[in-house]
Structure formats: C-alpha cells, structure tokens
Amino acid sequence: MLIIAFESSTSLIIHVVYGIMLMKDQMLANPFSTTRQIIGRCFVTRSGFTLIEVLIASTIMMIVFIVSGIVLVQTIRNSDISLNKLLATKEVIETEEKLRRILSRMGPRLDEVTLTSTSVSFKVRIPFGSDGLSVDLSERIAFYTDGTLRYERMSDSVTPLATIGENLEEVRFSMPAPGIVNYSIMKSIGTVRVTFTGGVTSPNMR
C-alpha cells in the first residue's frame, strides 16, 4: 500500500510542478511594473517568497518525507525478522542440547528402544550400592500437541521429569540404523521458521 501511495503522490507532484513552471513562464513573459503583483487571489511581494517558490519547496519536502517513510518501514521490518530469527535459533539450540544429553543415556539394549514419529521410549540402567547392583528404568521423550517436548519416566503412571522445550512447532524422531536416533526440531517466531536436525548414538547400546 505504501508503494501505491508513493506512485500516486509522485504522479500528482509531477503534474503540480509542471503547472507551476508554466505559470512562472507566463509571469516572466508578462511582468508587472508594480512592486506588489496580484496573481489570481494570491499576492506576491519582492521582499518575501513567491507562491511558486513555496509550492516547489513544499513539493520537495513531501517527496523527501514519503521516501523516508518507506525506508523507515522497510528497515523496521527487516530488524524484526532478524531479531525473530536470532531468538528462534537460540531456543532451538538450547532444546537440542537438552535432548542430546538425555538421549545419550539410552541403554543398555537396542531392542528396548522404540520410536514413533513424536516419541522415543528407552531404558536407562541406574547403578546403586557398592556390590555392582543396578536397576533399569523405563523413560520416554515425547512431543505433545501443545508444543511441549517432555522427558518422562514410565511405570504404573507417567511421571514428568523435565521440560526439554516449549512453544515448538514440530519435533520428529527416526531410527535410520540400530542404536542411532535422529531428530528434527522446528521453531517459529512471527514469520521466521528455524529447523534443526541432529542425531545421537548412545555409547551404552549393545
């Protein structure tokens, strides 16, 4: 809309300036001998600005204001996009670091890792005591429709352990090979969308 307004205003300004220049040529061709001249209803004195000079100055100022406004709006728009991209990238990287740290705990058995497109379920072996005893706990990372990525413990009920990320647009999981879990994280802020892809190979798998 700004571009249309600018083109319309420019066309109007060109017509006004052209008419003013024709008036000036007519005045130069038929000058009056009196100190005070009458042009239609407007008076011009030799000691001040003429009507033509005022109109030309006003036209130039109008052009400058229109161009400056367009440049300012475009600059603000570009600044907003850059800021949104920076914020989205920062949040995606923080989410990926948390996700990678948790997935690296998977183990010890490959056949105990199960995936859907939005979740990863696995077991974690927790040692306790000095006699080498340990216990295997069932855990899960799941992406919910509200945009939350959660780390949970599975038993008779689901126990939330941590929130990995919030306000995410999409999180997808896949297993291209045994023991490798790939993921993609998508985050949108305003008109900016950032996607991060990565993968984890657990050292505990066998």
Query: What pLDDT, in 10s, does the model give residues 104-113?
Result: 877 766 667 8
pLDDT confidence tier of residue 71, bands split at 50, 70 and 90:
confident
pLDDT confidence tier of residue 1, bands split at 50, 70 and 90:
very low
Predicted local confidence at residue 70, as pLDDT? 84
Which residues does residue 82 pair with via DSSP β-bridges, in sequence order?
none
- Percentage of residues in the chain with pLDDT exceeding 70? 69
The mean pLDDT of 146-165, rounded to a whole number, is 90
Statement: residue 8 has pLDDT above 70: no
Ranked by mean pLDDT, the top range of 54-58, 128-132, 179-183 is 179-183
- Percentage of residues in the chain with pLDDT exceeding 90? 23
What pTM was estimated for this model as a whole? 0.60
Cα gap 1→61, rounded to integer Å: 21
Query: What pLDDT, in 10s, does the model give residues 158-205?
Result: 888 999 999 999 999 998 887 788 999 999 888 888 999 998 887 655
Is 13 in contact with 62 (CB distance < 8 Å)? yes
Question: Is 16 or 81 the better-scoring residue by pLDDT?
Answer: 81
SS3 24: helix
Among the residue ranges 50-54, 85-89, 136-140, 141-145, the one predicted with the least confidence is 50-54
Is 168 in contact with 185 (CB distance < 8 Å)? yes
Statement: residue 49 has pLDDT above 90: no
Q: Give the phi and the psi of residue 139 in degrees, each rounded to 5.
A: -135, 165
- Compute CA 92 distance to the chain's CA centroid, rounded to the nearest angstrom: 13
